[in-house]
Amino acid sequence: MIDAKLYARRRRRNTLAAVASYGATFVGLSWLALILGVLFWEGFSGLSLRVFTEMTPPPGAVGGLLNAIVGSLIMTSLALVIGAPIGILAGTYMAEYGRHGRLASLVRFINDILLSAPSIVVGLFIYEVMVRPMGHFSGIAGAVVLGVLVIPVMVRTTEDMLTLVPDTLREAAASIGLPRSLMIRQVAYRAARAGIITGILLAVARISGETAPLLFTALNNQFFSTNLNAPMPSLPAVIFQFALSPYKDWQDLAWTGALIITLAVLAMSITARALTGTRKAS
């Protein structure tokens, strides 16, 4: 009565699926290993003190990436100064005041779309509203683009983290007569601090590799510049330029720059994960 063939077929299919599943995971993991491996292989040899102390060289000469690194740092920190407060406050509105209100739901929906929207479009937006009226590319326009990209990340994480704060804390604060705004700032923010820091880390990780929107706002600069009103170099823009150049020295520097960015970004996202991981456990 027992259909041995049917069982064999089902078992075979099951084994096949398991093999495919293991195989897919292997492919995914080996791709990560491959990318990181090549990055280390190509970039590590060029990694020296010179990279951090010298300017980008003309083709054929030795040099470093100092101006690009400084430009990236300036624009990234300015972007945080612009974007983080707006993002945190907007996230606060959604978690503390709006919750399920119509405005909060709409903002949440739009924000989630902006979170994955192509950054190049944001670059065009800032080009239209800043670069074109000003008449030239500038570091401040680059910072504003990155700032706009920071906002959705901050809104999302702030809201998520504030929602995790138990309501009993809020009620306790309210019961001793603390006004709502003070309760948010002194109790809710404090309880969600690790989460908000995570958001900042994720935001920095997100913008530090951004290239496309910087190309039409901050442009690039071969020289050291801290002038926000002039084109400003950035690590990704320099990598883009150098990698596509025919010169071997430039390509090597591009690899080194790529390694620096990747290490920084991965370190930030792993730290962010560790911060929230311990949070959830506690």
Partner 1 sequence: MVDVAWQESGVSAQDVAERAKVLNKLRIGDIIFHQITKISALFVLVVLGGVIVSLFLGALPAFQEFGFSFITAQSWNPVTEKFGALAPIYGTIITSVIAMLIAVPLGLMIAMFLTELCPMWLRRPIGIAIELLAGIPSIIYGIWGLFVFAPFLQARVQPGVIAAFENVPLLSTLFEGPPFGIGMLTASLILAIMVLPFITSISRDVFDAVPPVLKEAAYGLGWTQWEVWRYVVLPFTRIGVIGGVMLGLGRALGETMAVTFVIGNAHKISSSLLAPGTTISATIANEFTEAVGDLYTSSLIALGLILFVITFIVLAIARYLLLRIERRVG
Write each residue from 30 to 59 as x if it is in contact with partner 1 (CB under 8 A), else as -, in one continuous string. Answer: -xx--x--xx--x-----------------
Q: Cα separations (Å) of 3 from 6, 9, 10, 12? A: 5, 10, 11, 14
CB atoms within 10 A of CB 117: 13
CA-based R_g, the chain, Å: 24
CB burial of residue 187 (10 Å; 0-12, 13-18, 19+)? middle
By CB under 8 A, tell whether 97 contacts partner 1.
Answer: yes
Residues 6+ apart with CB under 8 A from 222: 55, 56, 58, 67, 233
By CB under 8 A, the residues from 162 to 191 that bind partner 1 are 179-182, 184-185
* Minimum distance, C-beta of residue 63 to partner 1, in the bound complex (Å): 19
CA angle at residue 55 from 52 to 57, to 5 degrees?
A: 125
With respect to partner 1, which residue has the nearer C-beta, 20 or 61?
20
* Binding-site member from 13, 99, 190, 248 for partner 1 (CB under 8 A): 13
Q: How far is the CB of 179 from partner 1 (least distance, A)?
A: 5
Site for partner 1 in 101-130 (CB under 8 A): 103-104, 106-107, 109-114, 116-122, 124-125, 127-129
The verdict on 227 binding partner 1 (CB under 8 A) reads no
The letter for the amino acid at 108 is R
| Binding status of residue 269 toward partner 1 by CB under 8 A | yes
Q: How far apart are the first and last CA of the chain?
A: 56
**87 near 152, Cβ under 8 Å?**
yes
**Binding segment (CB under 8 A) for partner 1, from list 46-54, 74-82, 190-198, 238-246:** 238-246
Residues 147, 79 contacting (CB under 8 angstroms): yes
One of 2, 6, 27, 281 touching partner 1 (CB under 8 A): 27
CA contacts within 13 A on the Cβ side of 1: 0
* Under rule CB under 8 A, residue 73 binds partner 1: no
Which of 141, 216, 221, 253 is the binder for partner 1 (CB under 8 A)?
216
8, 18, 61, 73: which one contacts partner 1 (CB under 8 A)? 18
Identify which of residues 56 and 119 has a Cβ nearer to partner 1 in the complex: 119
Q: Please give the single-letter amino acid code of residue 184.
A: I
Under the binding rule (CB under 8 A), the answer on residue 241 touching partner 1 is: no
Which of 209, 224, 271, 275 is close enough to bind partner 1 by CB under 8 A? 209
Q: How many CB atoms lie within 10 A of CB 58?
A: 11
Kindly indicate which of the ranges 10-18, 67-75, 166-174, 222-230 contains the residues binding partner 1, using the contact rule CB under 8 A. 10-18
Residue whose C-alpha is closest to residue 229's, from 238, 240, 221, 241: 221
> Taking the complex as a whole, how short is the minimal distance between the CB of residue 25 and partner 1, in angstroms?
5
Among the listed residues 151, 165, 200, 204, the single contact to partner 1 using CB under 8 A: 151
> Hey, what are 56's tokens?
């980008």
Min dist CB 100 to partner 1, Å, is: 11
